[in-house]
Every structure is written in structure tokens, then in C-alpha cells.
Amino acid sequence: MKKTLLARWQANFLAGLAVVMPAALSVAVVVWLFGTVSNFTDTLLFFLPRRLTHAQGGTGPMFWYWKLIALGLAVVLIAGVGRITRHYLGRRLISWVDQVILSVPLLNKIYSVLKQVNEAFSLGKKGAFQTVVLVEFPRPGMYALGFVTGEHENEVEEVVGERAVTVFVPTTPNPTSGFLLVVPETQLRRLRMPVGDAVRFIVSVGAITPGSPAPGNATVAGISEGAQPTGTAPGPGPG
């Protein structure tokens, strides 16, 4: 009896965990992103008195609703800049700002690199992060998932001796960092796997394999009833 009650409690706990964990992690990620971005956007409200926007008479942290207003203001300003750049005078103004920044020592190096990276992604570079591949890494015989970021016909190809591509191999469970590899195209194994499935596979440390059914009520019901993992049913025992 005690064992049965313990098994039921464990099944109920796992079922609850299956429901609560994704929601809790999602909220935590949103809160973290909001806090990180607001550290930059809060400065847009510099023209307001601190005693109005901050707690404890201006000495405490900024109220959350003012942070939200600052974030909304940042979105409006960015959209406004995008609107301006669609016109001739706006493009001339942006070009003038670029020239001013590029004339500043040290800052021009950083700005130039960041601008090139931003243009590569914002202009929708063909093939960038749209193709999933398998590449032998970190040693022959072992494979890692990667994303093709570019195909090159320059000095790299001349040195390699054949067509080469750059592949980003993300780390797990944080795919924002990783390794940049230059790989001969003949050594790549291109996959039909969607990018979204590859990202889920990496973030879940391989627990969510491509083609796995989306989580739903059936999963929770299976856990709560103590369902066994799907597999080949055992045959009848020897008579």
C-alpha cells in the first residue's frame, strides 16, 4: 500500500513538473531578457526626474512600468530610424554619421566589424543559418551539428584547394556561443533537418530528437498514469 501511494505521488509530481517546468523556464528567460535589455533602454528616460521614475524617492531601482515604457520608446525610435533610412535625405544622414564614427581611432575598427556583421544578417544573406550540416568535430569519427554561415571563393578556398564553407558549431545548452569552422564542402554532410529542430536538439542536450512529437496533454497523461516509454512490446514468455 505504501509503495503504491509513493508511486502515485511520484507520478503526480512528474506530471506536475512536466507542466510547470517549461512555463517557469519560459517566464525566467523573458524576465532575464527584459532585465538585460532594459539596462540599456532605461537611459532613454534621462529627461524625467529620478524621483518620478525610481523607487525610494529616486535612490532605488526604476519602477517596472517605467522600464516597460522605456522599452516601448526604444522600439518606436528604432522604427523611426528605419523609416528615415528609406528616404534619400535619411540615407545621406546615416552615411554622414558613419563617416564621423569611422574617423574616430579604435572606435572605427569596432564599428566597422559590427556593421558588417549586422548587414550580413539583416539583409537576409542567402544560406546563412538556413542549412543544417554534420561535420566531423572535434576529431574524426565524431560528428557535431552545425549551421552553414557562408560559402567562400577567396583566399580561404585557394589555401584549402577546394570550395570551402564556414560552419558555426554551437555549444549546448547555450547555442549563442560555439566554434567557427572552415570546412571543405566535400567533407560536409548536409541534412534535411529544419533549423528549428536542430536548435531544439542542441538546447535540450540531445533529449529532444528531430521528429519527436510536440509536448501536449498526451505526454502529461502518460506520465501521470506511469506509462512506460514507447518501444517494442516484449514477446510472450516461454511457456
Which domain, by its residues, includes 197?
Answer: 132-203
CB under 8 Å to 204, separation ≥6 — which residues?
173
In one-letter notation, the amino acid at residue 126 is: K
Task: Tell whether 65 and 93 lie within a shared domain.
Answer: no
The reply to whether 160 and 106 lie within a common domain is no
One domain for residues 107 and 167:
no
User: What is the structure's pLDDT at 107?
Assistant: 87
Answer yes or no: do 112 and 158 share one domain. Answer: no
Q: Are residues 118 and 145 in the same domain?
A: no
Radius of gyration of the chain (CA): 26
Contact 202, 175 (CB under 8 A): yes
What pLDDT does 215 receive?
A: 54
Among 196, 232, 230, residue whose Cα is nearest residue 211 = 196
Does residue 136 sit in the same domain as residue 199? yes
Q: What's the number of domains the chain is made of?
A: 3
Q: What is the pLDDT of residue 136?
A: 92
Q: Are residues 58 and 89 in the same domain?
A: no
Whether residue 112 is contained in a domain is answered as yes
Helix and strand numbers (H, E) in the chain are 8, 5
Say what the pLDDT of residue 125 is. 55
| 42 shares its domain with 104 | no
- Residue ranges for the chain with pLDDT beneath 70: 1-3, 119-128, 152-153, 211-239
pLDDT tens profile 43-99: 999 999 989 999 988 888 899 899 999 999 999 999 998 888 888 888 888 889 888
Dist. CA 22–CA 133, nearest whole Å: 28
Please indicate, yes or no, if residue 30 is contained in any of the structural domains.
Answer: yes
Asked if residue 65 and residue 19 are part of one domain, the reply reads yes
Residue among 7, 55, 22 at smallest CA distance from 208: 22
